[in-house]
Amino acid sequence: MPVNADKTGQWKADIAASVDFYNDWFMKYAPQAFRETRQKTIKQVKSALDATDGMRRVSPAVLRRNPRVLAVLRMATAPPLAVDRLIGLAGVPPNLVRRMEKRGDLPPRMKKGDVERGLKSIGEMIRALSDMDIFVWLERGVEPSEQEIYRASTIVADRLCGAIANPIIRNAQEQRQLAKIRKWLEEHGYTFIEAGMGTRVDAMRPGTFCFHLNVPVEQESGREVNIPVDVAVMPRKLEGRAMPLLVEAKSAGDFTNTNKRRKEEVVKIAQLRATYGQEIDYILFLCGYFDSGYLGYEAAEGIDWVWEHRMDDLAQFGL
- By the 8 A CB rule, do 249 and 230 touch? yes
Q: What is the pLDDT of residue 259?
A: 65
The per-residue pLDDT for range 56-73, each reduced to its tens digit, is: 889 999 999 899 899 899
**Is residue 15 pLDDT above 80, yes or no?**
yes
For range 217-237, the mean pLDDT: 82
Q: Burial, 28: exposed, middle or buried (Cβ in 10 Å; 0-12, 13-18, 19+)?
A: exposed
Measured over the CA atoms of residue 169, residue 172, residue 176 and residue 182, the dihedral's sign is positive
Domains of the chain: 8-30+167-317 (3.40.1350.10), 35-165 (no CATH)
Terminal-to-terminal C-alpha distance of the chain:
15
Task: To the nearest 10°, report the CA torsion of 294, 300, 306, 312.
Answer: 150
| Partners of residue 5 on adjacent β-strands | none
Q: What is the pLDDT of residue 109?
A: 87
For range 286-310, the mean pLDDT: 90
The per-residue pLDDT for range 254-273, each reduced to its tens digit, is: 776 676 677 778 888 888 88
The whole model's pTM is what? 0.68
The per-residue pLDDT for range 156-190, each reduced to its tens digit, is: 888 887 766 677 777 888 888 999 999 999 999 99
Q: What angle do CA 112, 117, 123 make, to 5 degrees?
A: 125
**With pLDDT > 70 as the criterion, what percentage of the chain qualifies?**
94
CB atoms inside a 10 Å sphere around CB 81: 21
The per-residue pLDDT for range 99-122, each reduced to its tens digit, is: 898 888 899 888 889 999 999 999
Q: What is the pLDDT of residue 28?
A: 80
Measured over the CA atoms of residue 298, residue 299, residue 304 and residue 305, the dihedral's sign is positive
Q: Which residue has the higher pLDDT, 166 or 205?
A: 205
